[in-house]
Chains A and B, each alone.
Chain A
Amino acid sequence: MDTDKVFDLCSSVCIRGFFSVFMNVRFEVNGIEKVVEAPPMKRLLDVLREELRLTGTKEGCGEGECGACSVIVDGEVINSCLVPVCQVQGCTVLTVEGLSRDGRLDPLQQAFLECGGAQCGICTPGMLIAARALLDENEQPTRDEIAQAIAGNLCRCTGYVKIIDAIEQAAEIKER
């Protein structure tokens, strides 16, 4: 299950052993093409964290309420705890690990650092992803629009104030 081998077939369902069902899923993660062999109904969240060892995306509730598992699939922010991996065949996925380049924080991350947008940090990956999705679509969001965009990301530490400050700052910097 921890394989990262490349298969020639695009996708195939193979029965392995008597009790487990596997499928090859090919998709792009943070700009890199991956092929994963996993049970087709395995959650994208678990495939990211286990098969791909990208543990930046978190599980907070398992029911699509907290948004800690948010990733961007084909440009849309979704809860990866609610997406079976078979549905990302051929898709493009962005996780928190894909935000920074060459070890340098991107403007959103930098803004979170400067504005105090992260306290315990567990909601932060999902929050950054939701913010990224917002700024990709709306370069000059109002505070209300920011609050709307992160309404699916629960934070218990910050009261959301400095998260919204950070996203606002990142938008302004991008403007300039």
Chain B
Amino acid sequence: MAVGQNVLRKEGYEKLTGAARYVDDLTLDGMLFGKTIRSTIARGRIKSIEFDSAYDWSRIVVADYRDIPGENYVALIEHDQPLLIESEVRHYDEPILLIAAASKGDLETAARHIHIEYEELPPVLTIEESLAGAVVLYGNDNIFKRFLIGRGDIDEGFGAADLIIEGEYRVPHQEQLYIEPQGMIAIPGAGLMTVMGSMQCPYYIHKALKQLFNLSDEKAVVIQTTTGGGFGGKEEYPSMIAAHAALLALKAQRPVKIIYDRGEDIAATTKRHPGIIRHRTGVARDGRLTASEIDFVLDGGAYVTLTPVVLSRGAIHALGPYRCDNVRIAARAVATNTPPNGAFRGFGAPQVAFAYEMQMEKIAARLGIDPLELRRINMLREGDITATGQRLGVSVGSAEVLNAAVDRSSYFEKRESIEAANAHGSPHDKRRGIGISFFFHGAGFTGSGEARMQAQAGVEITAEGRARVLSGSTEIGQGTRTIFGQIAADELGINFDNVDIEDPDTSRVPDSGPTVASRTTMVVGRVVQLAAREIKDKLITFVAERFGAPEVRLIDGLFVANGEALASFGEIAHEYIAQRGELRAYARYASPPDIEWDDETYSGDAYPCYSWGAEVAEVEVDMDTYEVTCTKITTAQDIGRAIHPLLAAGQIEGGTLQAVGYGLLEELVWDKGRIVNNRLTNYIIPTSLDAPAMETIIVENEYPHGPFGAKGVGELPMDGAAPAIAAAVFNATGAFISEIPITPERLQRTLEPRMNTDGHR
């Protein structure tokens, strides 16, 4: 059995020896380097573009919107985002021109000889400004998308409340900060365009290229190279850089490589949507939630991109993993003149999780109820109904994760000793605190998403008896190839080492959907399992006929009937292919039965299942400098089944530290629509010395429709750390922080009675 074992990763050796080829490691004959010329205003119009005649332009290839064979938009949900500006500028660093040259030095110099004049207009830069509507950027009210989720009778619910508690929570942009910057190489051919590079979703790029370059399915080829991190930042954005490289390649009729430098990457590409979430909660004195009204607004940036989907997931999760019969969630996403925001691990859930958990902290404090007890009173359990009216039938590890995290962290003992220390006057400059958070994350696409997607994957067997998995899902650090290898190996009953994974190349693998939404193991892994099963069934039938044996089974690489080994997998594969030509099977994802979702009323079974998490964070606060150190995080996460426990723990630990960054360190600083801290010196992510000690408990509440019981794991870890840390800071200092990150400056402002209002945003 490979599933459940920490088999050595298929992708491991190359990465450890420096042999793995990331896109910037590749050089092709005749290759040019490309660069993007971007706007230097946030809103307005281009008046003129001048190429300095003193510069020798003969060595430079220049492309603009007029060179686009198809229509000038990057295909996603709406067709509003241009590949290159025609005249209207909607955000700072918006792409205007593309230039290519044989040397990078020439590109820098050439760029300095392009002069662009603008007619500047006052930009809309915040959610408040956008909602105020003085300037309309989109539709007639700046609203990209609205959702309304409702259940029960909200007024009755408030009527039944003993106390009504309000809270407003603010969450910032966050940069994905994959250590490998965005990069693509485009190679032109005869009526053909091949693009290779750093990406999560080859088929997104494929779709965008087909439209922009008037190419058929086979004539656009997209190949993923080894990718150094994505986290959602390489979900939809790569279509833009891929098409830029392709446009230059088309014009130059030579391969073109574009690699973003870090400053450009941070400034111009997608970020986590910032938001404002308002809670109004009715509670009974015993702690039960009687009514919950939530207003949730996200800033989508200048174009629609994936905002409606982020909004959707956020809205569905906005109540949190709690029971409440009377719910009203109003969600809106607005347009501003900032670079479009996009996918980042969690995709709307971390934003609302900070809000719903801090709201629970507030409620606990107001009611004088233990925060843990408040969670226990209200938590969703099997059989309960969610905010969208979904009855939770299966794989609900809510109580289990909460108990596990509390027990393993010695939460009660620690809290007591902290309270004692604080009461007896801790040293002048340090206070300790402990806090919890409780969260959930729907696995797979929302509602009818997977049913519409019908993700496809295949398995084929070679004449040597090796299996090959065919899927458009990508390995971006989470170990996709290994997971698929384990699933296929166990389904086929062969050795993990005999399974290969085809490279994500759109000319060779089917569209399994994007590598996002915590769906790769649960959904695509399931499809891989089904395809492997079909292969197995074909072979079993073949063997049964061949040997005239009625009940044949495939066990450990051998076909067995009546306790007797008939032949090996390899032998049969060889024979089958010799006779029949090839052995390949494709399968498509079919939603589990009894999943009903209504897109009109936005109600029903939002996700086939949820993963569950609980986190205990311990902090130390230096009361002289207001610096918060998260010293330890204990987390329990129910992911159904850990196909590879080490990789699963790695996902949890990595996601948790990203969430620590979200809660404590990471903040974008803006100046009139331009990001000022777009370098690693000033956009602060955690180093090893900023990382808490972590204890991870994997809880396995098997989900029957996932492969071997697996649910989603990728995003859940992003949801818990920020509120757990904020709760711990509240415990340590009495400062209730409703806006993250909890920088020392923000903590100081909250703690000091007389506040100086010269914030730096």
Q: Do chains A and B touch in the complex (CB under 8 A)?
A: yes
Interface residues of chain A, those whose CB is within 8 Å of chain B, are 49, 54-63, 65-66, 68, 95-97, 99-100, 105, 109, 112-116, 118-125, 128, 146-148, 150-164
Rounded to whole angstroms, the CA-CA distance of A158 and B226 in the bound complex is 17
Known: A147-B688, A154-B687, A155-B179. A162 touches B17 (CB 8 A): no
Is B658 an interface position by the 8 A CB rule? Answer: yes
* CB–CB B681/A63 < 8 A: yes
Known: A57-B18, A120-B227. A162 touches B646 (CB 8 A): yes
Distance (whole angstroms) from the CB of B333 to the closest CB of chain A: 26
* CB–CB B229/A124 < 8 A: no
* CB–CB A158/B653 < 8 A: yes
* CB–CB B691/A105 < 8 A: no
Which residues of chain A have C-beta atoms less than 8 A from B656's C-beta? 159
B17, B231, B679, most chain A CB atoms within 10 A: B17
- Determine the residue in chain B with the shortest Cβ distance to A147: B688
Known: A57-B18, A99-B17, A158-B650. A150 touches B688 (CB 8 A): yes
Rounded to whole angstroms, the CA-CA distance of A57 and B180 in the bound complex is 12
Which residues of chain B have C-beta atoms less than 8 A from A158's C-beta? 650, 653-654, 657
Q: Which one of B85-93, B161-169, B472-480 is at the A interface?
A: B472-480
- Determine the residue in chain B with the shortest Cβ distance to A100: B17
Rounded to whole angstroms, the CA-CA distance of A53 and B691 in the bound complex is 35
Is B602 an interface position by the 8 A CB rule? Answer: no
* CB–CB B689/A151 < 8 A: yes
* CB–CB B657/A159 < 8 A: yes
* CB–CB B17/A121 < 8 A: no
Rounded to whole angstroms, the CA-CA distance of A66 and B689 in the bound complex is 14
Rounded to whole angstroms, the CA-CA distance of A66 and B688 in the bound complex is 12
Of all A-B residue pairs in the complex, the 4 with the closest CB atoms, nearest first, are A56-B18, A122-B228, A120-B477, A121-B15
Please give 17 more A-B residue pairs, beta carbons under 8 A apart, in addition to A49-B25, A54-B18, A158-B650. Answer: A58-B228, A96-B17, A105-B13, A113-B9, A114-B6, A118-B12, A121-B15, A122-B22, A122-B178, A122-B229, A123-B179, A151-B688, A156-B178, A157-B654, A159-B655, A159-B691, A160-B657
Which residues of chain B have C-beta atoms less than 8 A from A153's C-beta? 688
Is B325 an interface position by the 8 A CB rule? Answer: no
Known: A63-B262, A156-B229. A113 touches B13 (CB 8 A): yes
Q: Give 1 or 0 for each of B637-657: 1 = CB within 8 Å of chain A CB.
A: 000000000110110011111
Is B8 an interface position by the 8 A CB rule? Answer: yes
- Determine the residue in chain B with the shortest Cβ distance to A39: B105
* CB–CB A161/B694 < 8 A: yes
Is B24 an interface position by the 8 A CB rule? Answer: yes
- In chain B, positions 174-230 with a C-beta closer than 8 Å to chain A are 176-181, 226-230
* CB–CB A157/B688 < 8 A: no
Is B20 an interface position by the 8 A CB rule? Answer: yes
* CB–CB B685/A119 < 8 A: no
Rounded to whole angstroms, the CA-CA distance of A159 and B696 in the bound complex is 12
* CB–CB B178/A161 < 8 A: no
Is B575 an interface position by the 8 A CB rule? Answer: no
8 A-B pairs whose Cβ atoms sit less than 8 Å apart in the complex: A100-B17, A112-B16, A116-B6, A122-B179, A151-B688, A156-B177, A160-B691, A161-B650
Which residues of chain B have C-beta atoms less than 8 A from A150's C-beta? 688
* CB–CB B13/A120 < 8 A: no
Query: A96 touches which one: B18, B22, B679 (CB < 8 A)?
Result: B18
* CB–CB B647/A58 < 8 A: no
- Determine the residue in chain A with the shortest Cβ distance to B25: A55
Is B1 an interface position by the 8 A CB rule? Answer: no
Rounded to whole angstroms, the CA-CA distance of A112 and B24 in the bound complex is 24
- Determine the residue in chain A with the shortest Cβ distance to B21: A55
Summed over the interface, the residue pairs from A and B with CB atoms below 8 Å come to a total of: 159
Which residues of chain B have C-beta atoms less than 8 A from A100's C-beta? 16-17
B177, B654, B689, most chain A CB atoms within 10 A: B654
Distance (whole angstroms) from the CB of A32 to the closest CB of chain B: 15
- Determine the residue in chain A with the shortest Cβ distance to B9: A113
Is B28 an interface position by the 8 A CB rule? Answer: no
- Determine the residue in chain B with the shortest Cβ distance to A46: B104
Is B755 an interface position by the 8 A CB rule? Answer: no
* CB–CB B228/A148 < 8 A: no
B179, B226, B262, most chain A CB atoms within 10 A: B179
Distance (whole angstroms) from the CB of A9 to the closest CB of chain B: 26
B20, B228, B262, B680, most chain A CB atoms within 10 A: B228
Query: B262 touches which one: A56, A61, A109 (CB < 8 A)?
Result: A61
Which residues of chain A have C-beta atoms less than 8 A from B688's C-beta? 146-148, 150-151, 153, 155, 160, 163-164
Which residues of chain B have C-beta atoms less than 8 A from A156's C-beta? 176-179, 229, 231, 654, 658, 685
Distance (whole angstroms) from the CB of B323 to the closest CB of chain A: 32
Chain B: interface residue count, which band? 35 or more
Which residues of chain A have C-beta atoms less than 8 A from B647's C-beta? 116
Which residues of chain A have C-beta atoms less than 8 A from B679's C-beta? 61, 63, 65
* CB–CB A119/B17 < 8 A: no
Is B134 an interface position by the 8 A CB rule? Answer: no
Which residues of chain B have C-beta atoms less than 8 A from A118's C-beta? 12, 15-16
A49, A114, A155, most chain B CB atoms within 10 A: A155
* CB–CB B18/A116 < 8 A: no
Query: A58 touches which one: B177, B180, B649, B687 (CB < 8 A)?
Result: B180
* CB–CB B228/A120 < 8 A: yes
* CB–CB B229/A97 < 8 A: no
Known: A158-B650, A162-B650. A120 touches B689 (CB 8 A): no
Which residues of chain A have C-beta atoms less than 8 A from B14's C-beta? 121
Distance (whole angstroms) from the CB of B110 to the closest CB of chain A: 15
Rounded to whole angstroms, the CA-CA distance of A75 and B350 in the bound complex is 44
Known: A55-B25, A162-B650, A162-B653. A97 touches B18 (CB 8 A): yes
Which residues of chain B have C-beta atoms less than 8 A from A57's C-beta? 18
Which residues of chain A have C-beta atoms less than 8 A from B21's C-beta? 55
Query: A128 touches which one: B16, B262, B685 (CB < 8 A)?
Result: B16
Which residues of chain A have C-beta atoms less than 8 A from B689's C-beta? 147-148, 151
Which residues of chain A have C-beta atoms less than 8 A from B176's C-beta? 156
Rounded to whole angstroms, the CA-CA distance of A162 and B230 in the bound complex is 19
Is B19 an interface position by the 8 A CB rule? Answer: yes
Distance (whole angstroms) from the CB of A123 to the closest CB of chain B: 5
Rounded to whole angstroms, the CA-CA distance of A118 and B479 in the bound complex is 10
- Determine the residue in chain B with the shortest Cβ distance to A119: B477
Query: B17 touches which one: A56, A62, A154, A155 (CB < 8 A)?
Result: A56
Distance (whole angstroms) from the CB of B597 to the closest CB of chain A: 33
Which residues of chain A have C-beta atoms less than 8 A from B156's C-beta? none
Distance (whole angstroms) from the CB of B136 to the closest CB of chain A: 38
Is B155 an interface position by the 8 A CB rule? Answer: no
A65, A118, A157, most chain B CB atoms within 10 A: A157
* CB–CB A97/B12 < 8 A: no
* CB–CB A157/B261 < 8 A: no
Query: A121 touches which one: B20, B650, B655 (CB < 8 A)?
Result: B20
* CB–CB A115/B646 < 8 A: yes
- Determine the residue in chain A with the shortest Cβ distance to B24: A59
Query: B261 touches which one: A62, A112, A123, A161 (CB < 8 A)?
Result: A62
Is B537 an interface position by the 8 A CB rule? Answer: no
* CB–CB B19/A154 < 8 A: no
Q: Give 1 or 0 for each of B10-38: 1 = CB within 8 Å of chain A CB.
A: 01111111111110110000000000000
Which residues of chain B have C-beta atoms less than 8 A from A116's C-beta? 6, 646-647, 649-650
Rounded to whole angstroms, the CA-CA distance of A10 and B17 in the bound complex is 31
Query: B8 touches which one: A56, A114, A122 (CB < 8 A)?
Result: A114
Which residues of chain A have C-beta atoms less than 8 A from B228's C-beta? 58, 120-123
Rounded to whole angstroms, the CA-CA distance of A28 and B470 in the bound complex is 43
Query: A63 touches which one: B20, B650, B680 (CB < 8 A)?
Result: B680
Which residues of chain B have C-beta atoms less than 8 A from A147's C-beta? 688-689, 691
Which residues of chain A have C-beta atoms less than 8 A from B658's C-beta? 156
* CB–CB A154/B179 < 8 A: yes
Query: A113 touches which one: B8, B229, B691 (CB < 8 A)?
Result: B8
Query: B478 touches which one: A59, A119, A155 (CB < 8 A)?
Result: A119
* CB–CB B691/A65 < 8 A: no
* CB–CB B18/A120 < 8 A: no
* CB–CB B650/A55 < 8 A: no
